[in-house]
Chain A
């Protein structure tokens, strides 16, 4: 199947999402993603950062899709043409979403442990404005202690649901979730219970912002002062392949190994993450080339996403033929009147 994004064409397998295709192309066409995580089933579609314009639906049905589509949950069609960075409409939508994500965010980056490796900072850098139009009181939440390893700062959360999916998909005993609703939705255990499952630490790695941070690293250093090294150990629970963050000879923090899109290669266990902070615990492989566009950028990171992983995208294929019909409603052609109405809808406001 051939798909074209901002003029770059690429062959993809059925079931590939637009976002994955864009990542295969790489560079500026890649939409930002705050909630999608390729290793978590059912993730994506919520933050609306990755909206793109589908200018041509497919070879079979070339009509454009009327609304912007979330690229992380929209499957490619043969002959599809997508506008990402090249579309003013898309740029405007990304600015809008960025503004929405920031209005209630505390903007406490100077004291946030995520600063320097925060996806929201990167998003704001790309699509944010220098001024706020929000003069209302910000929404805040009462703090909750969720145990000795993980610090929860609900005020910073953007509700990507990734941590909930980690708990659902990596452990069989999820004790935290999303409580309440609307703009009061919050991540909580409801009963102030410790989140201490063997793989719970991965919630920290998947969190795109500083809502879930490592308590054992809290206020120890700014991330850009420590140096990341790839390291491994013989671990009975996980692969033992990690990144250790060192300041001199001291291991300040252990995380999963993250790729260009801040996704971990493999999830690691809490033993590796929290309990092995001595140099002798690890076989250090060497400095880790790092990061896309954060302040710790060393411009060394250049691994291409060569083959798309479609295991988690299988749902995209479900009923795609029927869906195609329904999206475009080929059997229910628009009357002239409808088209005029739609145009006036588009001009509304």
Chain B
């Protein structure tokens, strides 16, 4: 049983309410920080902890905090990114729905560290019932004196509000989120300037993921050094993993970073193995944006080392044989799933979610989707595979925000590892007419049709 620091209290009956949360040690970090620590000391603890941004990019949180502009004297803001919409990811929702006060507590302690007096939680519009849960939690915290003027007599003031989006994946990008919070279309901004200098209403702003902020209370209570002891190497602490697909026990799990992928997949404490007796075909470890990996690269890296649930191990081998931890959206595929259809599905998602501001993403995502749709529907041409690789490489790195890369990577990875499946779709259109064609005839059975002859 590995250590839990986010979800350890989630099963306590009534933990959603302020009274129960408080009675179980809640809001201790606010008391400790406001009464005994300076804001800079809190920042230092978070730096020492090695906590990395849990939204996907993995940038060190303490470092991000230290960039905030304190010299200009402008009001500062902390914005929590709860616009969780990366396919395969549903951990923030779980945390906010079942233990909302942990996020509120993290927001207060973190806002204090940054010297922010007005902070927001930006939640995706579809999580409307969670929005209401958070609103209630904020009201409770305010009534108990943890929000508002002169919190705990410390002289520190903080107002905290929830703001809801309205259906746009792109608002998970921090500058698009800020635009959306300002009541505009979610078009990402050109950086620099970064939000730490000029963010919400041109004020210095830090945007952090829900899970990142929720880890702060534990760090403040137990020290950054203690947090850094959990995990492995530069992947410190615990991580929430959202698991879905063809597994026995889908759901949200808190793991210590460094757990082996094999154990996570197969032990009964976690995913419990595949949902049926069918073999494992592929997995996506960090949400739809990160490269898909074929079965032989899942439990072992290309060097034959055990693959671990950590930033470093999952990206071992680069994109050639590795992937990324990303947001921790763990999607598992058995041999009935069709990689071409899945790639088209992801491509449709990015096409649908592109904001349309910059040309490579606006035009390129639509183009890729159309080509993939043709292949999936039996109208592919041999040259389409290289065309897809070419389009994705022209998007990658040339866009304003990372959505372009996120749309490009899954296509490249699918072709890199499953090229023969694309060839099969192109050469045998009559065999792939039904979307569930691999149920009756998994690819392993028909692979000989497209396999290169070995002489």
Binding site for B on A (CB under 8 A): 44-49, 51, 67-68, 70, 73, 93, 96-97, 99-101, 103-104, 133-134, 136, 139, 158-159, 178, 180-185, 315, 318-320, 322-323, 325-327, 331-332, 335, 337, 340-341, 343-345, 347-349
Query: Are A45 and B190 in contact, CB atoms less than 8 angstroms apart?
Result: yes
Is there a chain A Cβ closer than 8 Å to B439's Cβ? no
Give Cα distance in the complex from A181 to B190, angstroms.
18
List chain A residues, Cβ under 8 A from B363: 100-101, 103-104, 183
How many Å lie between the Cα of A332 and that of B409 in the bound state?
A: 25
Closest 9 CB pairs of A and B: A344-B318, A319-B197, A96-B394, A185-B356, A323-B192, A100-B363, A45-B190, A348-B319, A183-B366
A100, A315, A318, A331: which has the most chain B beta carbons within 10 Å? A100
Task: Knowing A48-B398, A178-B185, say if A136 contacts B370 (CB, 8 Å).
Answer: yes
B142 interface hit (Cβ, 8 Å): no
Q: Is the CB of B312 within 8 A of A337?
A: yes
**In the complex, per-residue mask of B232-264: 1 if CB is within 8 Å of any chain A CB, else 0:** 001000000000000000000000000000000
Question: B355 to A182, Cβ gap below 8 A?
Answer: yes
B374's nearest neighbour on chain A, judged by CB, is: A136
Per-residue 0/1 for B335-364: is the Cβ within 8 Å of any A Cβ (1 yes, 0 no)? 000000000000000011111111110111
Can you name the residue of chain A whose Cβ is closest to the Cβ of B72? A319
Residues of B within 8 A of A67 (CB): 397
What chain A residues lie within 8 Å of B185 (beta carbons)?
A: 178, 181
Determine if A349 and B194 form an interchain contact, defined as CB atoms under 8 angstroms apart.
no
Which residue of B is nearest A322, CB measured?
B197
Given contacts A322-B67, A327-B192, A349-B416, contact A48 B315 (CB under 8 A): no
Does B289 count as interface, using CB distance less than 8 angstroms? no
The reply to whether A349 and B358 form a contact with Cβ atoms under 8 Å apart is no
Q: Contact check, A96 vs B194: say whether CB atoms are below 8 A apart.
A: no
A100 touches B364 (CB 8 A): yes
| Contact segment of B10-18, B221-229, B385-393, B428-436 | B385-393
Given contacts A136-B371, A323-B192, 12 further A-B contacts (CB under 8 A): A46-B357, A48-B400, A100-B359, A101-B359, A136-B370, A319-B194, A319-B197, A332-B60, A335-B234, A337-B312, A344-B320, A347-B320
| Nearest-CB residue, chain B, relative to A96 | B394
Residue of A nearest to B379 (CB): A135
Give Cα A347–Cα B389 distance, bound, in whole angstroms: 12
Residues in A with CB closer than 8 Å to B351 are: 182-183
| Pair A320/B192 contact, Cβ less than 8 Å | yes
On whether the beta carbons of B394 and A319 are closer than 8 Å, the reply is no
Interface: B293 (CB within 8 A):
no
Query: Given the complex, which residues of A lie within 8 Å of B450, measured CB to CB?
Result: none
* Residue numbers in A under 8 Å from B356 (CB-CB): 159, 178, 180-185
Chain A residue numbers with a CB within 8 Å of B399 are 48
In the complex, which residues of chain A have a beta carbon less than 8 angstroms from the beta carbon of B397?
67-68
Contact B355 A181 (CB under 8 A): yes
* A97 CB contacts on chain B under 8 angstroms: 359-360, 398
Q: Is the CB of B365 within 8 A of A182?
A: yes
Check A348–B193 contact: CB distance below 8 A.
no
